[in-house]
Amino acid sequence: MTLRDIRKRALTKMEGEILRLEKELVKMRNSHEALKQSLFDVSKQLNDTPSSSLLLQETETYKKKIADVVVDIRNLDARLSKMKNRAKRWQRTS
């Protein structure tokens, strides 16, 4: 197996990984939207009823989950960007 074959194989594998991560990123964004909608619904209930500690705890839980998802999305997006740049460089040199 030549070096060129090894690079082509690695590039193909990297492109597959990029596609998988892009799908995962879409799922995370959908999850983020669902969490934001849930937080909005709970906040609306909180405005309609007198302050309830259970609803306040639920809003805090949603806020924490949203913050975690945002961090994960940011990290995954940065990783994807690096992988795409690396794949483009490899394609230019091949």
Residue 92 pLDDT grade (very low, low, confident, very high; cuts 50, 70, 90): confident
Q: Using DSSP, state whether 23 is helix, strand or coil.
A: helix
Q: Which two tokens stand for residue 21?
A: 């991560």
Per-residue model confidence (pLDDT) at position 77: 94
> How far apart (Å, rounded) are the C-alpha atoms in residues 39 and 21?
26
Q: Could you tell me the pTM of the whole model?
A: 0.78
Distance of CA 33 to the CA centre of its chain: 11
> Where exactly are the structural domains of the chain?
28-83
DSSP 50: S
- pLDDT, tens only, 27-81: 999 999 999 999 888 888 877 776 677 888 888 999 999 999 999 999 999 999 9
- Cα gap 29→69, rounded to integer Å: 8
